[in-house]
Chains A and B, each alone.
Chain A
């Protein structure tokens, strides 16, 4: 019997002597370029970080190639960020450029440090999930290809966090990102009475609906959906596989903007709806990519230095946001869910 419940490898076993020597005794850091940081310790020792975005989904051979680079240039040590980027922890400054050159040759461009788009946080999509309304990796690839200049060069007023969730479950901090793509459904689930009677716990399915759109149908040992009340969250499908909510003709993506998690300057903010729906257009989702590009370009041009996306919108106002982006404002943008009323404007002070 092999042991259980012993926990993860100890982090100190994964850390270089330099990191251990200066643990908790870092003094300051500087951004050297969009792919490189230096952290200086109280002791005067320096640690250089070379960051590069990965596609998150990686074959073991790619990770082995990263290991080879770390063995060659970093004494065998690297780390990952919370946004799927790899960080090589370099002690000898002379190793930075050769490491970057080899990373580049592998197809990994260093970037994402400072006022850039860092890597795009995302979920599984059609590769490995049973509830997505959109793919994840394909959209991330298409968007990042389009906005790559903002990843490589520090051309933005502040950092910009992109994220994607392939359904409303929103794995990842999509709801607090500067620009977020979310997979949405637009039609109610299809009820398979026969399967429901065999596979699902009716009370749990009924209780799963946040708008009370589902009621039991005892005669059929099934349920009925009041389609007028359904807002397609898919929570019933999570509880009951016999209520699929997919519809290739209607599933697609929404875009939310202006969220952040840091409390710097302005407290953390939720992302808010900018675009209610863009259809799925694999393999490169041109409309969605074009819209994200527009949202970033307008911000890059209009915001003041140091302003995150949401801070920029707070300054200019949402009415002006829709004007400068040219995006239509619709009834979908006005909240009609649980906490809607405080989002209505109770003042006559606004911009034309």
Chain B
């Protein structure tokens, strides 16, 4: 085992109250040459203020078109352990729940066949295994498969879908986020593992309007739990909150975006005009013991979210105001498959579905999917007179 790399700059990140990633790499460096070289290369990046990873490179494993990302050092002579240092994406269990005996098997395999460094988790939700040689990729995949761990997505495919904790540990799950993500992930293994689309496609599922998985910001297809009927009020608990000093006027009544909540300080009673409620969830967030969502639950489906690359950031927008989400979720699958077909047919290379809709218009999207135009899709109607009519709509 060679001596540990000298890293005077990185060593300055060992101290302080937040856990140190440098300490983590050093744990690896004591046992593994690649981790030691990673320390060295990172120190070089800190000195020179530039990355030392080369641009991509295609690697893969039998039967899969994605899930593994090639990574090569641009200074392999200095850091031979990083000549090949590929990333593997492993599909996380829904809601990121783990049982230790199952996880330990994954950790043992990764220590034996890779750097032992991980991310829990990557931005899309996968377990990320950081750094192994090309000749180990198949063996890692096979060993993990024997223990029930499969690869996630990468490239122009369905990226690993993810969901919030949902009914596993949250009273605000209007839909069974975990079952939905698990069902869709299993149903679309081919789309997940074999890139064949214009670009990536992300699905994220949140149980309520708090959107704990940032589905509106990060997913092309966002499924967000909501309800249709009245918020349930527990009048005794309302009184308990008030008696405990909770500022019900300031934090609930005044913060209601549609001003549909009123409070009578004499009777200490709260009432909600549910017909004007937009289900933003603030009042429920603030008084979880007193207020509960309605009982007729389902999801709002939104489309098109992605980060600013390339035409500016898009936040997903409403395409289905309410969909019942009952197993086996065929309605959502039918919609997904129609969208994929239209996008695959019309999308340019590296065009996300939201960008395609921006280019061709919601009108084309609605025609392709058969969804009806409804006012819930927009903040307001257009302000210009420049719209299209089809030949069928005008007098010949």
In the bound complex, how far is the Cα of B10 from the Cα of A95, in angstroms?
36
In the bound complex, how far is the Cα of B120 from the Cα of A204, in angstroms?
34
In the bound complex, how far is the Cα of B257 from the Cα of A265, in angstroms?
5
**Interface footprint category on B:** 35 or more
Does A178 interact with chain B (Cβ within 8 Å)?
no
Given contacts A67-B104, A130-B55, contact A284 B119 (CB under 8 A): no
Chain A residues whose CB sits within 8 angstroms of the CB of B164 once the complex forms: 82
Given contacts A123-B123, A128-B53, A142-B13, contact A61 B27 (CB under 8 A): yes
Given contacts A11-B95, A141-B16, A246-B51, contact A126 B46 (CB under 8 A): yes
Chain B residues whose CB sits within 8 angstroms of the CB of A339 once the complex forms: 312
Identify the stretch in A131-139, A294-302, A317-325 within 8 Å (CB) of chain B at 4 or more residues: A131-139
Given contacts A208-B350, A268-B211, contact A6 B96 (CB under 8 A): no
Does A81 interact with chain B (Cβ within 8 Å)?
yes
Of B19, B23, B51, B164, most buried by chain A (CB within 10 Å of CB) is: B51
Q: Mark A16-53, 1 if CB is under 8 A from B, else 0.
A: 00010001111111100000000100000001010001
Within the complex, which residue of A77, A125, A135, A169 is in contact with B307, where a contact is CB–CB below 8 Å?
A169
Identify the stretch in B186-194, B325-333, B367-375 within 8 Å (CB) of chain A at 4 or more residues: B186-194
Within the complex, which residue of A47, A76, A261 is in contact with B211, where a contact is CB–CB below 8 Å?
A261
Does A56 interact with chain B (Cβ within 8 Å)?
yes
Given contacts A82-B162, A82-B212, A168-B308, contact A76 B55 (CB under 8 A): no
In the bound complex, how far is the Cα of B56 from the Cα of A107, in angstroms?
35
Instruction: Count contacts on A: residues with CB < 8 A to the other chain.
Output: 116
Q: Which residues 39-59 of B have a CB within 8 angstroms of A?
A: 42, 45-56
Does A216 interact with chain B (Cβ within 8 Å)?
no
Q: Do A306 and B100 touch (CB < 8 A)?
A: no
Within the complex, which residue of A26, A76, A77, A305 is in contact with B247, where a contact is CB–CB below 8 Å?
A305
Does A63 interact with chain B (Cβ within 8 Å)?
yes
Within the complex, which residue of B49, B117, B176 is in contact with A57, where a contact is CB–CB below 8 Å?
B117
Identify the stretch in B167-175, B266-274, B336-344, B387-395 within 8 Å (CB) of chain A at 4 or more residues: B167-175
Chain B residues whose CB sits within 8 angstroms of the CB of A8 once the complex forms: 91-94, 149-150, 182, 185
Chain A residues whose CB sits within 8 angstroms of the CB of B214 once the complex forms: 82, 173, 176, 261
Given contacts A84-B121, A170-B309, A262-B209, contact A126 B96 (CB under 8 A): no
Within the complex, which residue of A5, A29, A170 is in contact with B193, where a contact is CB–CB below 8 Å?
A5
In the bound complex, how far is the Cα of B46 from the Cα of A248, in angstroms?
10
* Nearest-neighbor residue (CB-CB) of B53 within chain A: A130
Q: Do B107 and A60 touch (CB < 8 A)?
A: yes
Q: Do B176 and A76 touch (CB < 8 A)?
A: no
In the bound complex, how far is the Cα of B212 from the Cα of A139, in angstroms?
24
Chain A residues whose CB sits within 8 angstroms of the CB of B124 once the complex forms: 171
Q: Do A4 and B119 touch (CB < 8 A)?
A: no
Does A13 interact with chain B (Cβ within 8 Å)?
yes
Does B12 interact with chain A (Cβ within 8 Å)?
yes
* Nearest-neighbor residue (CB-CB) of B284 within chain A: A264
Given contacts A7-B189, A26-B170, A145-B16, contact A127 B107 (CB under 8 A): no
* Nearest-neighbor residue (CB-CB) of A340 within chain B: B312
Q: Do B210 and A264 touch (CB < 8 A)?
A: yes
Q: Do B21 and A175 touch (CB < 8 A)?
A: no
Q: Do A77 and B309 touch (CB < 8 A)?
A: no
Q: Do B24 and A29 touch (CB < 8 A)?
A: no
Does B385 interact with chain A (Cβ within 8 Å)?
no
Chain A residues whose CB sits within 8 angstroms of the CB of B71 once the complex forms: 128, 130
Chain A residues whose CB sits within 8 angstroms of the CB of B285 once the complex forms: 264
Does A226 interact with chain B (Cβ within 8 Å)?
no
Does B311 interact with chain A (Cβ within 8 Å)?
yes
Closest beta carbon of chain A to B334's beta carbon, Å: 21
Does B313 interact with chain A (Cβ within 8 Å)?
yes
In the bound complex, how far is the Cα of B54 from the Cα of A198, in angstroms?
17
Chain A residues whose CB sits within 8 angstroms of the CB of B381 once the complex forms: none
In the bound complex, how far is the Cα of B91 from the Cα of A207, in angstroms?
33
In the bound complex, how far is the Cα of B165 from the Cα of A26, in angstroms?
12
Within the complex, which residue of B16, B55, B281 is in contact with A263, where a contact is CB–CB below 8 Å?
B281
Closest beta carbon of chain B to A86's beta carbon, Å: 8
* Nearest-neighbor residue (CB-CB) of A201 within chain B: B349
Q: Do B17 and A76 touch (CB < 8 A)?
A: no
In the bound complex, how far is the Cα of B28 from the Cα of A2, in angstroms?
29
Does A233 interact with chain B (Cβ within 8 Å)?
yes
Q: Do A141 and B255 touch (CB < 8 A)?
A: no
In the bound complex, how far is the Cα of B230 from the Cα of A278, in angstroms?
49
Closest beta carbon of chain A to B246's beta carbon, Å: 11
* Listed A/B pairs (21) with beta-carbon separation below 8 Å: A5-B189, A5-B193, A7-B150, A24-B176, A26-B171, A60-B110, A62-B27, A80-B121, A81-B96, A82-B162, A82-B213, A84-B120, A130-B71, A144-B16, A145-B17, A174-B307, A175-B217, A251-B50, A263-B209, A264-B209, A265-B255
Given A14-B97, A14-B98, A78-B98: 14 more A-B contacts, CB < 8 Å: A2-B141, A24-B176, A26-B171, A27-B171, A57-B130, A71-B100, A76-B99, A79-B98, A109-B17, A126-B52, A138-B46, A142-B13, A261-B211, A306-B286
Q: Which 7 A-B residue pairs are closest in the complex by CB-CB distance? A: A145-B16, A241-B55, A24-B167, A170-B307, A144-B18, A248-B49, A173-B214
